[in-house]
Amino acid sequence: MVGATLVTSGTWSTAIETRSCVVTILLCAAFIFYKMLGSLPTLPLPAPPSDGDLGPPPAAQVQNDSDDELVQVVEEDQNRSNASHASIATHTRTIGIIQPPPDLRTIVDKTASFVAKNGLEFERRVIASNSGKPMFNFFNGSDPYHAYYQDQLSKFRSQNQVLGQ
C-alpha cells in the first residue's frame, strides 16, 4: 500500500522521470562530444630520436658556475666586514609572495642570507657582478620573485638580530 501511495502521489514518479531525462541528456551530450572529438584533426608530434638525445637541456636545468662565484664573493666579504643592517623602506604592501622553483629558491635563499649578514654594500656588489644573468633577476622590483627575496632577507635579518643579542 505504501508503494501504491507513493506512485499515485506523483512525487516519486516525477523524480524518477526527471532523473531519467537528465541521464538521457548527459548521455546525448557525451555522445555528441565524442563525435566532435573524432572529427577534429590529430596534431602530429615528432617521435623522440632513436638515439635518445633530446638536445641541450632547458636553461633552468643548466648548472652554472655563478653559484661558485657567489660562494667565493660571500666568503671574501664575510672575512672583510660585518656591516650594520639597514631596513628598506617601501611604499607598497606585499599582497602575495610567489615562491621560485627549487633551483632558483636555493640561490635566492643563500643570497638573502649573505646579504643579511654582510649588508647592502655586499648586495650591491652581487648585483653588479651578476647583472644580465637571468637567475639574479630577483633583485629587480618588477621580478615576480622579488617579494620572496625581500621576505627571506627580512627573516634572515631578524634571525641575525636575535642571535646577536
Whose cell is 584533426? That residue is 41
pTM exceeds 0.95, yes or no: no
Q: How many residues does the chain have?
A: 165
What residue segments make up the domains of the chain, in order of their start? 2-39, 63-85+96-164
What are the tens digits of pLDDT across the range 49-75? 778 777 777 776 666 555 556 656 555
In degrees, rounded to 5, the angle at the alpha carbon of residue 118 between the alpha carbons of residues 86 and 125 is 95
Phi, psi of 87 (to 5 degrees): -85, 150
Taken in order 154, 158, 160, 164, is the CA torsion positive or negative?
positive
Question: What's the CATH number of domain 63-85+96-164, 1.40.20.10, 3.30.70.270, 3.30.565.60, 1.10.10.790?
Answer: 1.10.10.790
Each residue's pLDDT, cut to its tens digit, for the chain (165 residues) gives 444 444 445 555 565 667 777 778 877 777 776 676 666 666 677 777 778 777 777 776 666 555 556 656 555 555 554 443 344 445 555 567 899 999 999 999 999 999 999 999 999 999 999 988 999 999 998 999 999 999 999 999 999 888 765
Taken in order 138, 143, 148, 151, is the CA torsion positive or negative?
positive
Please compute, for residue 2, the number of CA atoms within 13 A of its CA located in the half-sphere on the CB side: 0
- CA proximity to 81, closest of 45, 124, 128, 51: 124
Phi, psi of 94 (to 5 degrees): -75, 125
